[in-house]
Structure 1
Amino acid sequence: MAQQNNGCATGCGTLLALVALGFVLAYWQAFLMAGLLILATVAVVYALLQQNHRQLQALVEAADRRVRQAPCHIKESFGVIQSVKLSGNLQTPRIDVRCRTLTSNSKKLTTEEVFISLSPPAERMQLRSASGVANWLSGGGIAQLEDLSVEFKAVKVAMECLRERSWTNKALGKIDGLRSSVIDTLAKAKGNELLEGAIPQLQQALDAFNGEREKLQLANHNAGEMLRKLHDFLSVPEGIRPILNFDVDQLFDPQRFSVLEQSLSEVVLLNDAFRQLSENRLA
Protein backbone atom coordinates (compact mmCIF):
# COMPACT_ATOMS: atom_id res chain seq x y z
CA MET A 1 0.00 0.00 0.00
CA ALA A 2 2.81 2.41 0.90
CA GLN A 3 4.55 1.68 -2.40
CA GLN A 4 1.32 2.44 -4.29
CA ASN A 5 0.97 5.78 -2.45
CA ASN A 6 4.57 6.70 -3.23
CA GLY A 7 4.10 5.82 -6.85
CA CYS A 8 0.94 7.91 -7.02
CA ALA A 9 2.68 10.88 -5.44
CA THR A 10 5.59 10.58 -7.86
CA GLY A 11 3.29 10.40 -10.80
CA CYS A 12 1.31 13.45 -9.66
CA GLY A 13 4.51 15.41 -9.16
CA THR A 14 5.73 14.51 -12.63
CA LEU A 15 2.41 15.47 -14.11
CA LEU A 16 2.43 18.85 -12.36
CA ALA A 17 5.99 19.50 -13.53
CA LEU A 18 5.01 18.74 -17.11
CA VAL A 19 1.97 21.00 -16.87
CA ALA A 20 4.13 23.82 -15.43
CA LEU A 21 6.73 23.35 -18.16
CA GLY A 22 4.07 23.45 -20.80
CA PHE A 23 2.61 26.62 -19.28
CA VAL A 24 6.03 28.30 -19.30
CA LEU A 25 6.69 27.23 -22.89
CA ALA A 26 3.28 28.51 -23.94
CA TYR A 27 3.72 31.89 -22.29
CA TRP A 28 7.52 32.25 -22.34
CA GLN A 29 7.33 35.65 -24.00
CA ALA A 30 5.17 36.99 -21.16
CA PHE A 31 7.57 35.60 -18.55
CA LEU A 32 10.53 37.08 -20.41
CA MET A 33 8.88 40.49 -20.58
CA ALA A 34 8.02 40.36 -16.87
CA GLY A 35 11.62 39.44 -16.01
CA LEU A 36 13.01 42.23 -18.15
CA LEU A 37 10.56 44.69 -16.60
CA ILE A 38 11.66 43.69 -13.11
CA LEU A 39 15.34 44.04 -14.04
CA ALA A 40 14.73 47.46 -15.61
CA THR A 41 12.85 48.62 -12.51
CA VAL A 42 15.69 47.45 -10.23
CA ALA A 43 18.25 49.21 -12.44
CA VAL A 44 16.28 52.47 -12.41
CA VAL A 45 15.81 52.35 -8.63
CA TYR A 46 19.52 51.62 -8.11
CA ALA A 47 20.50 54.48 -10.42
CA LEU A 48 18.20 56.87 -8.52
CA LEU A 49 19.64 55.74 -5.20
CA GLN A 50 23.18 56.33 -6.49
CA GLN A 51 22.25 59.78 -7.76
CA ASN A 52 20.66 60.70 -4.42
CA HIS A 53 23.71 59.36 -2.61
CA ARG A 54 26.09 61.48 -4.70
CA GLN A 55 23.93 64.54 -4.13
CA LEU A 56 23.83 63.89 -0.40
CA GLN A 57 27.61 63.29 -0.37
CA ALA A 58 28.21 66.72 -1.92
CA LEU A 59 25.85 68.39 0.57
CA VAL A 60 27.54 66.66 3.54
CA GLU A 61 31.00 67.66 2.32
CA ALA A 62 29.84 71.28 2.05
CA ALA A 63 28.35 71.09 5.55
CA ASP A 64 31.61 69.64 6.85
CA ARG A 65 33.60 72.56 5.48
CA ARG A 66 31.08 74.99 6.95
CA VAL A 67 31.09 73.69 10.55
CA ARG A 68 34.57 72.19 10.94
CA GLN A 69 36.15 73.42 14.22
CA ALA A 70 32.97 75.31 15.10
CA PRO A 71 32.50 75.60 18.91
CA CYS A 72 29.41 73.75 20.09
CA HIS A 73 27.51 72.45 23.10
CA ILE A 74 26.86 68.72 23.14
CA LYS A 75 25.71 66.33 25.87
CA GLU A 76 26.16 68.97 28.58
CA SER A 77 29.75 69.54 27.43
CA PHE A 78 31.43 72.21 25.34
CA GLY A 79 33.66 71.41 22.41
CA VAL A 80 34.19 71.75 18.66
CA ILE A 81 32.85 69.89 15.65
CA GLN A 82 35.72 68.02 14.03
CA SER A 83 34.05 66.42 11.03
CA VAL A 84 30.75 65.60 9.34
CA LYS A 85 30.89 62.43 7.19
CA LEU A 86 28.36 60.43 5.19
CA SER A 87 28.03 56.77 6.19
CA GLY A 88 25.51 53.96 5.94
CA ASN A 89 24.36 52.51 2.61
CA LEU A 90 22.30 53.61 -0.38
CA GLN A 91 19.00 52.62 1.20
CA THR A 92 19.64 53.94 4.71
CA PRO A 93 22.28 56.70 4.65
CA ARG A 94 23.53 58.13 7.93
CA ILE A 95 25.62 61.19 8.76
CA ASP A 96 28.33 60.77 11.41
CA VAL A 97 29.30 63.87 13.38
CA ARG A 98 32.60 63.67 15.25
CA CYS A 99 33.14 66.19 18.04
CA ARG A 100 36.01 66.92 20.40
CA THR A 101 34.58 67.90 23.76
CA LEU A 102 36.15 69.49 26.80
CA THR A 103 36.11 67.41 29.95
CA SER A 104 37.55 68.01 33.41
CA ASN A 105 40.19 65.82 34.97
CA SER A 106 41.36 66.85 38.44
CA LYS A 107 40.23 70.42 37.78
CA LYS A 108 42.12 70.46 34.48
CA LEU A 109 40.57 70.57 31.06
CA THR A 110 41.28 67.70 28.69
CA THR A 111 39.37 66.46 25.64
CA GLU A 112 37.55 63.37 24.51
CA GLU A 113 35.98 62.41 21.20
CA VAL A 114 32.24 62.00 20.84
CA PHE A 115 30.57 60.36 17.82
CA ILE A 116 26.92 60.96 16.97
CA SER A 117 25.17 59.26 14.05
CA LEU A 118 22.25 61.27 12.66
CA SER A 119 19.66 60.71 9.96
CA PRO A 120 19.86 63.10 6.98
CA PRO A 121 17.32 65.93 7.19
CA ALA A 122 13.96 65.21 5.54
CA GLU A 123 14.63 68.17 3.25
CA ARG A 124 18.21 67.54 2.17
CA MET A 125 18.61 71.01 0.68
CA GLN A 126 18.58 72.18 4.30
CA LEU A 127 22.28 71.26 4.36
CA ARG A 128 23.01 73.98 1.81
CA SER A 129 22.82 76.90 4.25
CA ALA A 130 24.60 77.64 7.52
CA SER A 131 21.30 78.14 9.34
CA GLY A 132 19.92 74.92 7.88
CA VAL A 133 22.92 72.91 9.03
CA ALA A 134 22.74 74.53 12.48
CA ASN A 135 19.05 73.64 12.84
CA TRP A 136 19.67 70.07 11.70
CA LEU A 137 22.56 69.65 14.18
CA SER A 138 20.48 71.18 16.95
CA GLY A 139 17.81 68.56 16.34
CA GLY A 140 20.50 65.92 16.92
CA GLY A 141 21.63 67.45 20.22
CA ILE A 142 24.57 69.49 18.87
CA ALA A 143 24.10 73.22 19.37
CA GLN A 144 26.53 75.58 17.66
CA LEU A 145 27.57 78.50 19.88
CA GLU A 146 26.92 82.09 18.92
CA ASP A 147 30.07 83.82 17.65
CA LEU A 148 29.82 86.65 20.18
CA SER A 149 28.91 84.51 23.20
CA VAL A 150 31.31 84.16 26.12
CA GLU A 151 31.08 80.38 25.75
CA PHE A 152 32.25 80.62 22.13
CA LYS A 153 35.28 82.68 23.21
CA ALA A 154 36.06 80.34 26.10
CA VAL A 155 35.94 77.21 23.93
CA LYS A 156 38.17 78.77 21.24
CA VAL A 157 40.76 79.79 23.85
CA ALA A 158 40.57 76.40 25.58
CA MET A 159 41.23 74.51 22.35
CA GLU A 160 44.22 76.73 21.56
CA CYS A 161 45.58 76.26 25.09
CA LEU A 162 45.19 72.49 24.82
CA ARG A 163 47.05 72.51 21.51
CA GLU A 164 49.81 74.66 23.00
CA ARG A 165 50.11 72.51 26.11
CA SER A 166 50.36 69.33 24.03
CA TRP A 167 52.91 70.89 21.67
CA THR A 168 55.08 72.31 24.46
CA ASN A 169 55.13 68.92 26.22
CA LYS A 170 56.53 67.33 23.06
CA ALA A 171 58.91 70.24 22.46
CA LEU A 172 60.24 69.97 26.01
CA GLY A 173 60.98 66.31 25.42
CA LYS A 174 62.91 67.20 22.27
CA ILE A 175 64.85 69.99 23.99
CA ASP A 176 65.75 67.71 26.90
CA GLY A 177 67.13 65.21 24.41
CA LEU A 178 69.26 67.89 22.74
CA ARG A 179 70.50 69.18 26.10
CA SER A 180 71.52 65.69 27.16
CA SER A 181 73.53 65.23 23.96
CA VAL A 182 75.35 68.54 24.43
CA ILE A 183 76.04 67.85 28.13
CA ASP A 184 77.47 64.43 27.29
CA THR A 185 79.62 65.93 24.53
CA LEU A 186 80.92 68.65 26.86
CA ALA A 187 81.90 66.01 29.40
CA LYS A 188 83.82 64.13 26.70
CA ALA A 189 85.41 67.30 25.33
CA LYS A 190 87.35 68.09 28.50
CA GLY A 191 90.83 66.69 28.05
CA ASN A 192 90.12 65.59 24.47
CA GLU A 193 92.13 67.71 22.05
CA LEU A 194 89.82 66.68 19.21
CA LEU A 195 86.84 68.24 20.94
CA GLU A 196 88.24 70.91 23.27
CA GLY A 197 88.19 73.52 20.50
CA ALA A 198 84.41 73.15 20.25
CA ILE A 199 83.75 73.69 23.97
CA PRO A 200 82.79 77.41 23.56
CA GLN A 201 80.33 76.56 20.80
CA LEU A 202 78.95 73.63 22.76
CA GLN A 203 78.47 75.84 25.79
CA GLN A 204 76.71 78.39 23.62
CA ALA A 205 74.41 75.68 22.33
CA LEU A 206 73.68 74.51 25.87
CA ASP A 207 72.83 78.07 26.91
CA ALA A 208 70.47 78.35 23.94
CA PHE A 209 68.79 75.06 24.84
CA ASN A 210 68.44 76.12 28.48
CA GLY A 211 66.86 79.41 27.43
CA GLU A 212 64.46 77.66 25.06
CA ARG A 213 63.57 75.17 27.77
CA GLU A 214 62.65 78.00 30.15
CA LYS A 215 60.41 79.60 27.51
CA LEU A 216 58.67 76.30 26.80
CA GLN A 217 58.17 75.60 30.50
CA LEU A 218 56.64 79.05 30.99
CA ALA A 219 54.34 78.62 27.99
CA ASN A 220 53.28 75.19 29.22
CA HIS A 221 52.57 76.58 32.69
CA ASN A 222 50.60 79.52 31.31
CA ALA A 223 48.51 77.24 29.11
CA GLY A 224 47.76 75.01 32.09
CA GLU A 225 46.78 78.00 34.23
CA MET A 226 44.48 79.34 31.54
CA LEU A 227 42.84 75.92 31.18
CA ARG A 228 42.24 75.85 34.93
CA LYS A 229 40.59 79.28 34.78
CA LEU A 230 38.47 78.27 31.80
CA HIS A 231 37.44 75.12 33.64
CA ASP A 232 36.17 77.26 36.50
CA PHE A 233 34.45 79.66 34.10
CA LEU A 234 32.61 76.94 32.18
CA SER A 235 31.54 75.40 35.50
CA VAL A 236 29.58 78.56 36.35
CA PRO A 237 25.78 78.13 35.94
CA GLU A 238 24.58 79.01 32.45
CA GLY A 239 22.40 81.89 33.65
CA ILE A 240 25.39 83.71 35.14
CA ARG A 241 27.99 83.18 32.41
CA PRO A 242 26.73 85.98 30.09
CA ILE A 243 27.45 88.49 32.84
CA LEU A 244 31.09 87.39 32.98
CA ASN A 245 32.21 88.85 29.68
CA PHE A 246 35.96 88.99 29.04
CA ASP A 247 38.41 90.15 26.42
CA VAL A 248 40.01 87.17 24.68
CA ASP A 249 42.88 89.29 23.33
CA GLN A 250 43.97 90.12 26.87
CA LEU A 251 43.81 86.50 27.99
CA PHE A 252 45.43 84.72 25.07
CA ASP A 253 47.76 85.87 22.31
CA PRO A 254 47.14 83.72 19.19
CA GLN A 255 50.58 84.71 17.83
CA ARG A 256 52.37 83.24 20.83
CA PHE A 257 52.20 79.71 19.50
CA SER A 258 53.75 80.59 16.13
CA VAL A 259 56.53 82.50 17.93
CA LEU A 260 57.30 79.41 20.01
CA GLU A 261 57.39 77.22 16.90
CA GLN A 262 59.77 79.61 15.15
CA SER A 263 62.02 79.83 18.20
CA LEU A 264 62.26 76.06 18.55
CA SER A 265 62.98 75.70 14.84
CA GLU A 266 65.91 78.13 15.14
CA VAL A 267 67.32 76.25 18.14
CA VAL A 268 67.09 72.92 16.30
CA LEU A 269 68.96 74.45 13.35
CA LEU A 270 71.60 75.68 15.79
CA ASN A 271 71.98 72.15 17.13
CA ASP A 272 72.37 70.79 13.59
CA ALA A 273 75.12 73.35 12.93
CA PHE A 274 77.05 72.39 16.05
CA ARG A 275 76.65 68.71 15.35
CA GLN A 276 78.09 69.24 11.89
CA LEU A 277 80.94 71.21 13.45
CA SER A 278 81.71 68.37 15.84
CA GLU A 279 81.66 65.82 13.01
CA ASN A 280 84.07 67.95 10.99
CA ARG A 281 86.46 68.17 13.93
CA LEU A 282 86.44 64.39 14.34
CA ALA A 283 86.84 63.76 10.60
Structure 2
Amino acid sequence: MAQQNNGCATGCGTLLGLAALGFVLAYWQVFLIAGLLILAIVAVVYALLLQNHRQLQALVDDADRRVHQAPCQVKESFGVIHSLKLAGDLQALRVEVICCTLTANGKTLGTEEVCISLSPPAARLQLRSASGLANWLRGGGIAQLTDLSVECKAVKAAMECLRERSWTNKALGKIDGLRTSLIDTLAKAKGNELLEGAIPQLQQGLDVFNGEREKLQQANRNAGEMLRKLHDFLSVPEGIRPILNFDFDQLFDPQRFSDLEQSFSEVVVLNDAFRQLSEDRLA
Protein backbone atom coordinates (compact mmCIF):
# COMPACT_ATOMS: atom_id res chain seq x y z
CA MET A 1 0.00 0.00 0.00
CA ALA A 2 2.80 2.42 0.91
CA GLN A 3 4.58 1.67 -2.35
CA GLN A 4 1.35 2.36 -4.27
CA ASN A 5 0.97 5.74 -2.48
CA ASN A 6 4.58 6.68 -3.27
CA GLY A 7 4.07 5.70 -6.86
CA CYS A 8 0.93 7.80 -7.09
CA ALA A 9 2.70 10.80 -5.53
CA THR A 10 5.60 10.47 -7.97
CA GLY A 11 3.23 10.20 -10.87
CA CYS A 12 1.25 13.22 -9.78
CA GLY A 13 4.45 15.23 -9.34
CA THR A 14 5.57 14.29 -12.82
CA LEU A 15 2.24 15.25 -14.31
CA LEU A 16 2.28 18.61 -12.51
CA GLY A 17 5.81 19.25 -13.69
CA LEU A 18 4.88 18.46 -17.28
CA ALA A 19 1.81 20.67 -17.00
CA ALA A 20 3.89 23.56 -15.66
CA LEU A 21 6.45 23.09 -18.42
CA GLY A 22 3.72 23.07 -20.99
CA PHE A 23 2.25 26.24 -19.50
CA VAL A 24 5.63 27.99 -19.63
CA LEU A 25 6.23 26.86 -23.22
CA ALA A 26 2.77 27.99 -24.22
CA TYR A 27 3.19 31.45 -22.69
CA TRP A 28 6.98 31.85 -22.92
CA GLN A 29 6.64 35.25 -24.52
CA VAL A 30 4.64 36.52 -21.55
CA PHE A 31 7.24 35.23 -19.10
CA LEU A 32 10.06 36.72 -21.16
CA ILE A 33 8.40 40.13 -21.23
CA ALA A 34 7.69 39.94 -17.48
CA GLY A 35 11.32 39.03 -16.80
CA LEU A 36 12.57 41.87 -18.95
CA LEU A 37 10.24 44.31 -17.19
CA ILE A 38 11.52 43.19 -13.80
CA LEU A 39 15.13 43.60 -14.95
CA ALA A 40 14.33 47.05 -16.32
CA ILE A 41 12.70 48.12 -13.06
CA VAL A 42 15.67 46.83 -11.06
CA ALA A 43 18.06 48.69 -13.38
CA VAL A 44 16.10 51.95 -13.07
CA VAL A 45 15.91 51.68 -9.28
CA TYR A 46 19.65 50.96 -9.08
CA ALA A 47 20.42 53.92 -11.36
CA LEU A 48 18.28 56.22 -9.19
CA LEU A 49 19.96 54.98 -6.02
CA LEU A 50 23.38 55.47 -7.62
CA GLN A 51 22.49 58.99 -8.74
CA ASN A 52 21.22 59.78 -5.25
CA HIS A 53 24.50 58.49 -3.81
CA ARG A 54 26.58 60.65 -6.15
CA GLN A 55 24.54 63.78 -5.40
CA LEU A 56 24.69 63.23 -1.65
CA GLN A 57 28.41 62.43 -1.84
CA ALA A 58 29.06 65.78 -3.53
CA LEU A 59 27.04 67.62 -0.87
CA VAL A 60 28.82 65.80 1.98
CA ASP A 61 32.26 66.47 0.44
CA ASP A 62 31.45 70.17 0.16
CA ALA A 63 30.13 70.29 3.74
CA ASP A 64 33.25 68.45 4.93
CA ARG A 65 35.52 71.13 3.45
CA ARG A 66 33.50 73.89 5.12
CA VAL A 67 33.43 72.45 8.64
CA HIS A 68 36.88 70.83 8.74
CA GLN A 69 38.56 71.72 12.05
CA ALA A 70 35.57 73.84 13.09
CA PRO A 71 35.36 74.15 16.91
CA CYS A 72 32.32 72.36 18.30
CA GLN A 73 30.69 70.97 21.42
CA VAL A 74 29.59 67.33 21.60
CA LYS A 75 27.43 66.87 24.69
CA GLU A 76 29.68 68.08 27.52
CA SER A 77 32.94 67.80 25.55
CA PHE A 78 34.65 70.42 23.38
CA GLY A 79 36.73 69.81 20.29
CA VAL A 80 36.75 70.17 16.52
CA ILE A 81 34.90 68.54 13.64
CA HIS A 82 37.49 66.40 11.90
CA SER A 83 35.51 65.14 8.91
CA LEU A 84 32.16 64.22 7.37
CA LYS A 85 31.98 60.93 5.49
CA LEU A 86 29.18 59.26 3.57
CA ALA A 87 28.64 55.67 4.73
CA GLY A 88 26.12 52.83 4.50
CA ASP A 89 24.72 51.05 1.46
CA LEU A 90 22.76 52.61 -1.39
CA GLN A 91 19.41 51.93 0.28
CA ALA A 92 20.38 53.18 3.74
CA LEU A 93 22.89 56.02 3.43
CA ARG A 94 24.32 57.58 6.59
CA VAL A 95 26.67 60.49 7.26
CA GLU A 96 29.43 59.82 9.78
CA VAL A 97 30.56 62.97 11.60
CA ILE A 98 33.98 62.40 13.17
CA CYS A 99 34.96 64.82 15.95
CA CYS A 100 38.18 65.10 17.94
CA THR A 101 37.27 66.13 21.48
CA LEU A 102 39.52 67.20 24.32
CA THR A 103 39.80 64.50 26.95
CA ALA A 104 41.73 63.86 30.15
CA ASN A 105 43.09 60.38 30.76
CA GLY A 106 44.42 60.66 34.28
CA LYS A 107 47.00 63.44 34.19
CA THR A 108 47.43 63.20 30.43
CA LEU A 109 45.46 65.58 28.23
CA GLY A 110 44.79 64.71 24.63
CA THR A 111 42.02 64.14 22.10
CA GLU A 112 39.50 61.38 21.61
CA GLU A 113 37.89 60.51 18.28
CA VAL A 114 34.11 60.45 18.46
CA CYS A 115 32.07 59.14 15.52
CA ILE A 116 28.40 60.12 15.32
CA SER A 117 26.28 58.51 12.61
CA LEU A 118 23.46 60.74 11.33
CA SER A 119 20.69 60.32 8.78
CA PRO A 120 21.04 62.69 5.82
CA PRO A 121 18.68 65.67 6.10
CA ALA A 122 15.32 65.22 4.41
CA ALA A 123 16.04 68.38 2.41
CA ARG A 124 19.45 67.54 0.98
CA LEU A 125 20.14 71.14 -0.06
CA GLN A 126 20.18 71.99 3.65
CA LEU A 127 23.81 70.85 3.58
CA ARG A 128 24.72 73.69 1.21
CA SER A 129 23.99 76.59 3.56
CA ALA A 130 25.98 77.35 6.70
CA SER A 131 22.88 77.75 8.83
CA GLY A 132 21.23 74.63 7.41
CA LEU A 133 24.35 72.57 8.02
CA ALA A 134 24.69 73.93 11.55
CA ASN A 135 21.04 73.12 12.34
CA TRP A 136 21.39 69.58 10.98
CA LEU A 137 24.53 68.99 13.06
CA ARG A 138 22.84 70.46 16.12
CA GLY A 139 20.00 68.00 15.67
CA GLY A 140 22.59 65.23 15.91
CA GLY A 141 24.07 66.60 19.15
CA ILE A 142 26.97 68.53 17.57
CA ALA A 143 26.91 72.28 18.19
CA GLN A 144 29.29 74.48 16.21
CA LEU A 145 30.82 77.28 18.28
CA THR A 146 30.53 80.88 17.13
CA ASP A 147 33.84 82.55 16.25
CA LEU A 148 33.50 85.29 18.87
CA SER A 149 32.64 82.99 21.78
CA VAL A 150 35.22 82.39 24.50
CA GLU A 151 34.65 78.64 24.07
CA CYS A 152 35.62 78.83 20.39
CA LYS A 153 38.79 80.77 21.20
CA ALA A 154 39.65 78.33 23.98
CA VAL A 155 39.20 75.29 21.72
CA LYS A 156 41.36 76.83 18.96
CA ALA A 157 44.08 77.65 21.48
CA ALA A 158 43.88 74.14 22.96
CA MET A 159 44.32 72.55 19.53
CA GLU A 160 47.34 74.77 18.89
CA CYS A 161 48.76 73.69 22.25
CA LEU A 162 48.29 70.05 21.30
CA ARG A 163 50.02 70.64 17.97
CA GLU A 164 52.90 72.47 19.65
CA ARG A 165 53.28 69.78 22.29
CA SER A 166 53.33 67.04 19.65
CA TRP A 167 55.80 68.96 17.49
CA THR A 168 58.16 69.74 20.37
CA ASN A 169 58.12 66.08 21.47
CA LYS A 170 59.28 65.07 17.99
CA ALA A 171 61.78 67.91 17.83
CA LEU A 172 63.24 66.90 21.20
CA GLY A 173 63.73 63.37 19.91
CA LYS A 174 65.50 64.78 16.86
CA ILE A 175 67.69 67.17 18.86
CA ASP A 176 68.69 64.40 21.28
CA GLY A 177 69.80 62.31 18.33
CA LEU A 178 71.84 65.22 16.98
CA ARG A 179 73.44 65.87 20.36
CA THR A 180 74.38 62.21 20.72
CA SER A 181 76.07 62.22 17.31
CA LEU A 182 77.94 65.41 18.11
CA ILE A 183 79.06 64.14 21.52
CA ASP A 184 80.34 60.95 19.88
CA THR A 185 82.22 63.01 17.30
CA LEU A 186 83.79 65.15 20.03
CA ALA A 187 84.93 62.03 21.84
CA LYS A 188 86.55 60.73 18.66
CA ALA A 189 88.14 64.10 17.91
CA LYS A 190 90.29 64.07 21.05
CA GLY A 191 93.67 62.66 20.10
CA ASN A 192 92.74 62.43 16.42
CA GLU A 193 94.78 64.93 14.44
CA LEU A 194 92.27 64.74 11.60
CA LEU A 195 89.47 66.02 13.83
CA GLU A 196 91.17 67.96 16.65
CA GLY A 197 91.12 71.19 14.66
CA ALA A 198 87.33 71.06 14.57
CA ILE A 199 86.89 70.63 18.34
CA PRO A 200 86.10 74.34 18.99
CA GLN A 201 83.44 74.33 16.27
CA LEU A 202 82.02 71.03 17.49
CA GLN A 203 81.86 72.34 21.04
CA GLN A 204 80.16 75.48 19.81
CA GLY A 205 77.65 73.30 17.96
CA LEU A 206 77.00 71.28 21.11
CA ASP A 207 76.32 74.50 23.02
CA VAL A 208 73.82 75.50 20.34
CA PHE A 209 72.11 72.12 20.54
CA ASN A 210 71.93 72.33 24.32
CA GLY A 211 70.41 75.78 24.14
CA GLU A 212 67.87 74.66 21.56
CA ARG A 213 67.01 71.64 23.67
CA GLU A 214 66.25 73.89 26.64
CA LYS A 215 63.99 76.07 24.48
CA LEU A 216 62.13 73.03 23.22
CA GLN A 217 61.69 71.63 26.71
CA GLN A 218 60.38 74.97 27.97
CA ALA A 219 58.00 75.29 25.03
CA ASN A 220 56.77 71.75 25.65
CA ARG A 221 56.10 72.53 29.31
CA ASN A 222 54.38 75.81 28.44
CA ALA A 223 52.13 74.08 25.92
CA GLY A 224 51.21 71.42 28.47
CA GLU A 225 50.48 73.97 31.18
CA MET A 226 48.37 76.14 28.88
CA LEU A 227 46.50 73.07 27.67
CA ARG A 228 45.66 72.18 31.26
CA LYS A 229 44.41 75.72 31.97
CA LEU A 230 42.25 75.71 28.83
CA HIS A 231 40.82 72.30 29.68
CA ASP A 232 39.98 73.49 33.19
CA PHE A 233 38.37 76.63 31.76
CA LEU A 234 36.17 74.58 29.41
CA SER A 235 35.21 72.34 32.34
CA VAL A 236 33.67 75.30 34.19
CA PRO A 237 29.83 75.30 34.11
CA GLU A 238 28.42 77.13 31.09
CA GLY A 239 26.70 79.78 33.18
CA ILE A 240 29.97 80.86 34.77
CA ARG A 241 32.25 80.89 31.71
CA PRO A 242 31.10 84.30 30.38
CA ILE A 243 32.18 85.88 33.69
CA LEU A 244 35.71 84.54 33.09
CA ASN A 245 36.10 86.28 29.72
CA PHE A 246 39.73 87.23 29.03
CA ASP A 247 42.05 87.96 26.12
CA PHE A 248 43.29 84.72 24.60
CA ASP A 249 45.58 86.62 22.22
CA GLN A 250 47.74 87.64 25.16
CA LEU A 251 47.89 84.11 26.53
CA PHE A 252 48.69 82.34 23.29
CA ASP A 253 50.95 83.77 20.60
CA PRO A 254 51.08 81.72 17.36
CA GLN A 255 54.15 83.68 16.25
CA ARG A 256 56.11 82.17 19.14
CA PHE A 257 55.58 78.71 17.69
CA SER A 258 56.66 79.89 14.23
CA ASP A 259 59.83 81.35 15.72
CA LEU A 260 60.52 78.04 17.47
CA GLU A 261 60.11 76.10 14.22
CA GLN A 262 62.45 78.49 12.44
CA SER A 263 65.06 78.23 15.19
CA PHE A 264 64.93 74.44 15.13
CA SER A 265 65.26 74.42 11.34
CA GLU A 266 68.41 76.52 11.60
CA VAL A 267 69.87 74.10 14.15
CA VAL A 268 69.25 71.17 11.82
CA VAL A 269 71.03 73.05 9.03
CA LEU A 270 73.91 73.70 11.44
CA ASN A 271 74.15 69.99 12.19
CA ASP A 272 74.35 69.23 8.47
CA ALA A 273 77.22 71.69 8.19
CA PHE A 274 79.12 70.04 11.07
CA ARG A 275 78.55 66.61 9.58
CA GLN A 276 79.88 67.77 6.22
CA LEU A 277 82.89 69.31 8.00
CA SER A 278 83.68 65.97 9.65
CA GLU A 279 83.34 64.11 6.39
CA ASP A 280 85.65 66.58 4.62
CA ARG A 281 88.32 66.20 7.29
CA LEU A 282 88.16 62.42 7.12
CA ALA A 283 88.22 62.36 3.31
Give CA-to-partner distance per residue, 1:52-108, whole Å, 9 cap, x none. 000000000011001100011113100001010011110111111111100124455
* 1:212 positional shift: 1.0
Q: Any idea what the Cα deviations from partners look like across 1:247-276, whole Å, max 9, x if unmatched?
A: 121111112222211111111111011101
- Structure 1 gaps of 5+ residues are none
Task: Indicate the residue corresponding to 2:82 in structure 1.
Answer: 82
Q: How does 1:104-253 map to 2 (within 5 A)?
A: 104-106=104-106, 109-253=109-253
- The residue identity in structure 1 corresponding to 2:274 is F
Rounded to whole Å, the distance in 1 between the matches of 2:277 and 2:72 is 52
Between the aligned partners of 1:20 and 1:214, the Cα distance in structure 2 is 91
Q: Alpha carbon RMSD of aligned pairs, Å? A: 1.2
Identify the residue that residue 48 of structure 1 maps to in structure 2: 48
Deviation at 1:231, TM superposition (A): 2.0
SS at match of 2:94: strand
**What amino acid sits opposite 2:103 in the alignment?**
T
Partner of 2:27: 27
Moved more, 104-113 or 228-237: 104-113
The alignment partner of 2:97 has SS state of strand
Q: CA deviation at 1:138?
A: 0.8
Cα offsets for 1:159-194 (capped at 9, x unmatched): 000110111011111111111111121122111111
Which shows bigger deviation, 102-111 or 193-202? 102-111
Give the counterpart letter for 2:238 in structure 1. Answer: E
Task: Provide the TM-score with structure 1 as the length reference.
Answer: 0.97
Task: Calculate percent identity across the aligned residue pairs.
Answer: 84
Partner in structure 2 of residue 257 of structure 1: 257
What is the rounded CA distance, in whole Å, between the counterparts of 1:106 and 1:230 in structure 2?
A: 16
User: 2:51 & 2:22 partners in 1: Cα distance?
Assistant: 43
Is the contact between residue 108 and residue 227 of structure 1 (CA under 8 Å) also seen in structure 2? no
Which residue of structure 1 aligns with residue 71 of structure 2?
71
Q: Is the 8 A contact 1:107 1:231 kept in 2?
A: no
Could you tell me how far apart the structure 2 residues matched to 1:107 and 1:249 are?
26
Secondary structure of 2:8's match? Answer: helix
Aligned equivalent of 1:274: 274
CA distance in 1, matches of 2:31, 2:66: 52
Alignment-mate amino acid for residue 174 of structure 2 = K
Is 1:14 the counterpart of 2:30 in the alignment? no
State the distance in 1 between where 2:60 and 2:11 align.
Answer: 63
Return the alpha-carbon distance in structure 1 between the equivalents of residues 109 and 12 of structure 2: 80
CA–CA distance in structure 2, aligned partners of residues 241 and 92 of structure 1: 41
Between 40-49 and 133-142, report the one with greater CA deviation: 133-142
Q: Which amino acid aligns with 1:254?
A: P
8 Å Cα contact 1:68-1:83 kept in structure 2: yes
Over residues 216-256 of structure 1, what are the superposed CA-to-partner deviations in whole Å (9 max), with x where a residue is unaligned? Answer: 11211211121121122112111010121121211111122
CA distance, structure 1, for counterparts of residue 121 and residue 280 of structure 2: 67
TM-fit CA distance, 1:10: 1.3
Alpha carbons 1:84, 1:96 under 8 Å: kept = yes
TM-score (norm 2): 0.97
Give structure 2 stretches of 5+ with no counterpart. none
Alpha carbons of 1:31 and 1:106: their partners in 2 closer, same or farther (altered >3 Å)? closer
C-alpha separation in 2, matches of 1:105 and 1:258? 29
- What is the rounded CA distance, in whole Å, between the counterparts of 2:162 and 2:94 in structure 1? 31
Deviations 1:88-143, CA, capped at 9 Å, x for gaps: 11011111111110012445532111111111111111111111111111111111
- Within 2, Cα distance between the matches of 1:18 and 1:184? 94
Counterpart CA distance in 2 for 1:26 and 1:235 is: 79
Instruction: Give the distance between the partners of 1:7 and 1:232, measured in 2 at CA.
Output: 87
In the alignment, residue 49 of structure 1 is paired with which amino acid? L
